[in-house]
């Protein structure tokens, strides 16, 4: 391969920009998975996108979102990727980043003015068009004419199955399930270059009509869709699935398997009401109803724990609700706890959530001081009496799902109990509501925001949040001890009386 000059690097950048803009009849939003009716929201996302690229240009330090397409365009033109640190490498990456910035401006312009003429702000791209000779650098990466949809999907899945951009297990399963629908609807042998706007529109309408919780292996596609008056897939979920397909098409275009993105202007509208938060915290009255219900006051039988009776038992369900409230842990975190993760003899009794667990994010790794109420309710004596199975999983009797679906079975079981005692109704109250209670209790106790993030396992994106290891256990304990969940004297007395001796 021949070496790349600065002039050729700029030519590649202009061709890259021309390719990005030339194929659009009406471009997709800046963030395809965050469709919103207000152009102002897209402008905000575009501003963040542009600022991130400008920062890289100023620092002369480029991330994979720039270097990966740069490498693809260079190799497609038959050049050798220049060495990092060379003038050609800097010119190439800067040019690609500038092309991405200019394309973001173009997208916003086209969303606001479909028919108007666009003049690039960056002088590097003024006069750039798909007719420039430099576009021949891009044509060599075109897909073979016979590439089928099934083959393209396979390549897409393989690409994101490993490496730094690998999908999480749950995301991968969701995308593969979505792609299986696409293959059934469009046909696995459809040439990817034959995908049209009509294909995308038909898929959009199909996803919008899906029944909730429908199986994708049903023989007849018509059996998967709801009637005109029937219950349908949640609009946010439908938008997410449609977004997976849009991402696939964007990837096929970026990789050169197709020329332009079919159906780029086809959108799946999400009602404003569907974008609002649906989960809320429990009220104090609801918390008192839960912790004075038959599970804690006495139940009829193991199979009828929601009915009053004389039987009592402290098992996983009994303590999952309490730990979720008083420690603010995610359901999956509680389910995966090992006996050794609870340090009850430490000078500051605490729960150690370690990276060995299947966690949501890296910031989920944290230590949470144990609230004094949990000790008063008998947590230490209960943990000490747990059988050998608890060494591996403290809550061994509650089913743990596969990677990506850790909480599925447990959620159904725990939420079913809340329904049976008439606390839960609809989707706004779920197990995760305990975590919302924990956060609200911290706000009411005036816990500093950075410590709230640390205790919840949320990433702190601020500049100061990037320094240090966070507050120590003694500091965190002082904050946790301030939390008041407004349990009544009767409820507290009941829980204390249940303490195992």
Tell me the CA distances in angstroms from 95 to 86, 217, 263, 449, 484, one per residue in order.
14, 46, 28, 40, 56
CA dihedral 498, 499, 500, 501 (to 10 degrees): -120
Q: How far apart are CA 159 and CA 148, in angstroms?
A: 17
The residues with which 301 forms a beta bridge, in sequence order, are 304
466 confidence band (pLDDT: 50, 70, 90): low
Instruction: State the CATH class of domain 284-497.
Output: mainly alpha
At residue 473, what are phi and psi to the nearest 5 degrees? -65, -35
Q: pLDDT tens across 291-338, in order?
A: 999 999 999 888 888 899 999 888 888 999 999 999 999 888 888 899
| Percentage of residues in the chain having pLDDT higher than 90 | 31
Residue with tokens 């609807």: 185
pLDDT, the chain, mean: 82
Q: Is the pLDDT of residue 27 over 70?
A: no
Largest CA distance in the chain: 85
Q: What three-state secondary structure class fits 430?
A: coil
Domain boundaries, given as residue ranges, for the chain: 1-141, 144-276, 284-497
Q: pLDDT tens across 435-451, in order?
A: 999 999 999 999 999 89
Q: How far apart are CA 216 and CA 378, in angstroms?
A: 46
Q: pLDDT tens across 72-87, in order?
A: 888 888 888 888 888 8
Average pLDDT over residues 207-214: 82
Average pLDDT over residues 172-186: 90
User: CA end-to-end span of the chain, whole Å?
Assistant: 77
Highest mean pLDDT among 40-44, 65-69, 278-282: 65-69
Average pLDDT over residues 121-129: 71
Instruction: State the CATH class of domain 144-276.
Output: mainly alpha
Three-state SS for 309-354 is CCECCCCHHHHHHHHHHHHCCCHHHHHHCCHHHEECCCCCCEEEEC
| The model's pTM | 0.51
Average pLDDT over residues 453-463: 77
Q: pLDDT tens across 226-280, in order?
A: 777 778 888 888 888 998 999 999 999 888 888 888 888 888 876 655 445 578 8
Q: Is the pLDDT of residue 457 over 80?
A: yes
């Amino acid at each position: 391969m021949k070496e790349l000059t600065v002039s050729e690097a700029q030519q590649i950048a202009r061709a890259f920009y021309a390719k990005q803009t030339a194929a659009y009849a009406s471009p997709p939003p800046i963030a395809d998975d965050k469709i919103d009716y207000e152009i102002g929201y897209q402008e905000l996302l575009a501003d963040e996108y542009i600022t991130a690229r400008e920062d890289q240009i100023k620092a002369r330090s480029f991330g994979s979102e720039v270097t990966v397409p740069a490498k693809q365009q260079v190799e497609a033109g038959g050049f050798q990727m220049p060495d990092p640190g060379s003038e050609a490498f800097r010119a190439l990456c800067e040019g690609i980043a500038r092309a991405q910035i200019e394309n973001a401006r173009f997208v916003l312009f086209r969303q606001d003015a479909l028919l108007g003429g666009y003049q690039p702000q960056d002088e590097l791209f003024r006069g750039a068009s798909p007719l420039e000779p430099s576009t021949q650098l891009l044509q060599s990466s075109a897909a073979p004419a016979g590439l089928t949809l099934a083959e393209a999907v396979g390549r897409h899945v393989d690409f994101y199955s490993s490496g730094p951009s690998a999908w999480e297990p749950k995301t991968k399963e969701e995308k593969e399930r979505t792609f299986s629908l696409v293959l059934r609807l469009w046909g696995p042998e459809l040439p990817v270059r034959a995908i049209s706007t009509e294909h995308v529109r038909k898929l959009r309408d199909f996803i919008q009509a899906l029944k909730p919780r429908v199986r994708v292996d049903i023989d007849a596609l018509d059996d998967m869709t709801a009637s005109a008056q029937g219950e349908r897939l949640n609009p946010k979920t439908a938008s997410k699935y449609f977004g997976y397909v849009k991402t696939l098409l964007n990837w096929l275009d970026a990789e050169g398997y197709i020329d332009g993105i079919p159906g780029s202007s086809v959108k799946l509208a999400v009602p404003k009401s569907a974008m609002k938060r649906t989960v809320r915290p429990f009220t104090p009255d609801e918390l008192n109803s839960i912790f004075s219900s038959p599970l804690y006051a006495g139940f009829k039988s193991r199979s009828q724990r929601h009915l009053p009776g004389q039987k009592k038992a402290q098992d996983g369900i009994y303590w999952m609700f309490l730990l979720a409230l008083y420690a603010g842990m995610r359901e999956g975190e509680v389910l995966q706890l090992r006996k050794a993760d609870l340090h009850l003899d430490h000078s500051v009794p605490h729960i150690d959530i370690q990276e060995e667990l299947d966690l949501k994010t890296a910031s989920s790794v944290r230590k949470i001081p144990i609230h004094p109420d949990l000790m008063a309710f008998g947590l230490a004596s209960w943990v000490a009496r747990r059988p050998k199975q608890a060494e591996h999983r403290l809550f061994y009797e509650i089913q743990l799902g596969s990677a990506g679906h850790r909480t599925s079975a447990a959620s159904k079981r725990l939420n079913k109990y809340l329904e049976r005692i008439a606390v839960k109704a609809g989707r706004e109250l779920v197990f995760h509501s305990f975590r919302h209670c924990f956060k609200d209790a911290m706000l009411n106790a005036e816990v500093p925001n950075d410590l709230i993030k640390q205790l919840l396992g949320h990433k702190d994106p601020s500049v100061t949040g990037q320094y240090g290891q966070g507050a120590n256990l003694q500091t965190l304990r002082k904050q946790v001890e301030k939390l008041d969940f407004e349990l009544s004297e009767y409820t507290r007395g009941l829980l204390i009386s249940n303490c195992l001796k």
